[in-house]
Amino acid sequence: MPSNEQPSDRCGYSPDITLVHESIPETACYRPVWGDRDYCVWHAKETGKSIEDLKELKPEPKEHIDGAYLKEATLRNVSWFKDVSLINADFTRADLRAVNLSNADMRLTTFEGTTAIYTDFSGGNLEGAIISETDLRSAKLVDAQLNGAIFSNVYVNRDTDFGEYSIYEKEKEIAPRTLYETHPLQAAAWVYRELQEIYHDNSLPTLTQSSYQQEKDVRRRLAWDEREYGHAIKYELSRWVMLYGTSPYRILAVSAAFILLCGFLYPLIGGVQIVSGERTITYTFERSQTISLWWIGEVLFRSIYFSVITFSTLGYGNLQPVGPWTQLLSGIEAILGSLFAALLVFVLARSVTW
């Protein structure tokens, strides 16, 4: 609204403080009014502005044009907005193809039906922005602050670059302060969750899975940072056993490692025995001073074989654990074997949903 303290030939526009965050200072525009309008060319409520309309009052770096009204504006290849403050601006149905918006402050800005192909948002602050029905194919959003940004029906492709990691994952000393005063890792988790939905909606399964893994990894680190040890241990187990439910190969690798570990432990804590008629052979390393290489190989072969059939719950019955510790370990191995088999089925079934 115009300010009474501004000359009549000046814009005087100041964003409605109820529409912006309390941490954002209110500024009044001192640009000349546009023709017979009430506001300057940036704030006049007129759709379809062109480069010719705006270029005479193009902003300088660090300048504020908060609340700019640019509905249906045609601004292809413009580089004016680099390092500019565009808080609460309106780019509804604007043509922003190949526009440079790097390092711009675009908090709470609206992009609805906007064309932003090849647009550079890198290093920009888009916290709280509404980005709906917007074409971001081949756009660049590396190190963009996206906490609280709402993405809806956004179009991306493999060339849309959100960066390898969220900017909020940087060390605490250099991680940006978020608009909503949340923990930086919580902000990073929000970003990865939004990226999952974007990639899923655009049929990019590999990127969807990658964002899911990054979200879970951030939540794991957040749990340790906030001393929620129960959640932290749960995330650690999920990470190492099945990569947060995304890797059947990791389950198979962990299963194989556990089978071998138990196979090496059995001869040391009691051994296993085979009964053939009236003959009983116990495979153990109890008399280490008389052990030959042939006997070591025989014992390990039988123990690992016993470990395999125990883990897979086959239980042929030709081999039996000897002693309480061996029986306890074999019982634990059988339970974990059933659990790992269920996890493998779960992960394989889930892989088709990415």
Name the band, by pLDDT with cuts 50, 70 and 90, for residue 314: confident
pLDDT in tens, 148-198: 999 999 999 999 999 999 999 876 655 667 766 788 999 999 999 999 999
First to last CA, the chain: 48
Give the Å distances, CA to CA, from 60 to 55, 88, 124, 219, 284: 11, 18, 16, 40, 81
Residue 2 binned pLDDT confidence (cut-offs 50, 70, 90):
very low
Query: Residue 79 CB: number of other CB atoms within 10 A?
Result: 12
* Mean pLDDT of the residues in the chain: 89
Helices (H) and strands (E) in the chain, counts: 7, 6
pLDDT of residue 319: 84
User: What residue ranges in the chain does DSSP mark as E strands?
Assistant: 110-112, 130-132, 150-152, 272-276, 279-283, 319-321
**Kind of pairing, strands 319-321 and 272-276?**
antiparallel
Listed ranges 35-39, 152-156, 319-323; the one with the highest mean pLDDT: 152-156
pLDDT at 332: 95
Instruction: Give the class (CATH, top level) of 248-351.
Output: mainly alpha
CATH 1.10.287.70 residue spans of the chain: 248-351
Residues found in the chain? 354
pLDDT tens digit string along 116-143? 999 999 999 999 999 999 999 999 999 9
Q: What does the pLDDT read at residue 29?
A: 86
Please state which of the four CATH numbers 2.130.10.10, 3.40.50.300, 3.30.2030.30, 2.160.20.80 is assigned to the domain occupying 1-163. Answer: 2.160.20.80
Distance (Å, whole) CA 209 – CA 246: 7
Residues 14 and 133: their CA atoms lie apart, in Å, by: 28
Q: Provide the pLDDT for residue 23.
A: 60
User: 3-class SS at 230?
Assistant: helix
What separation in angstroms does the CA of 103 have from each of 127, 140, 171?
13, 12, 20
For the segment 337-341, the average pLDDT, to the nearest whole number, is 95
**Mean pLDDT on 194-220:** 95
- % helix, strand, coil for the chain, step of 5: 40, 10, 50
What's the sign of the alpha-carbon dihedral 108, 214, 234, 175? negative
Between CA 65 and CA 15 the distance in angstroms is: 10
Residues 271 and 281 sit within 8 Å (Cβ to Cβ): no
pTM: 0.84
Q: Where in the chain is the domain with CATH 2.160.20.80?
A: 1-163
The strand pairing partners of 74, in sequence order, are: 95
Of all residues in the chain, the percent with pLDDT exceeding 70 is: 91
